[in-house]
Amino acid sequence: MAKFGLIKWVGKALVCIALPLACALFATYAKHHLPGWAFALSLLLVVAGSVPAVLFFNLFRDSRSKAPGKRFEFSKQEDEWDDLFSPWHRDDDDRN
């Protein structure tokens, strides 16, 4: 099963590399054989095609040692009531 995961990871990497290259080849074709607006749209396609590669290879990672973590830690207090997405919070006055 680990071999399948490796094959899947390599396949994703190859697709993430091939997609911007194919978009760039189409942009080169559009520059020479199509009108100017098609070339502009093909450059936009190159940018959109490179997004999966940037996300897959994590090119904008923070290399500092004190990079903030993205983990959420639950509170250890049992009586605490806080919702991260709600503006309402329980006060001591609400317990009466």
94 compared with 27, residue with greater pLDDT: 27
Task: Give domain status of residue 75, yes or no.
Answer: no
24 CA to centre of own chain: 21
Task: Give domain status of residue 49, yes or no.
Answer: yes
Write down the residue that tokens 């990871």 correspond to: 9
Mean per-residue pLDDT for 8-34?
92
Domain count, the chain: 1
**Which pLDDT does position 37 carry in this prediction?**
93
Average pLDDT, the chain: 78
Range of the domain at 31: 1-57
Instruction: Decide: pTM greater than 0.85.
Output: no
Residues near 20 by beta carbon (within 8 Å), at least 6 away in sequence: 46, 49, 50, 53
Task: Give domain status of residue 23, yes or no.
Answer: yes
Task: Give domain status of residue 65, yes or no.
Answer: no
96 compared with 51, residue with greater pLDDT: 51
Task: Give domain status of residue 64, yes or no.
Answer: no
Task: Give domain status of residue 19, yes or no.
Answer: yes
- Quick: pLDDT tens for 51-65: 988 888 887 776 666
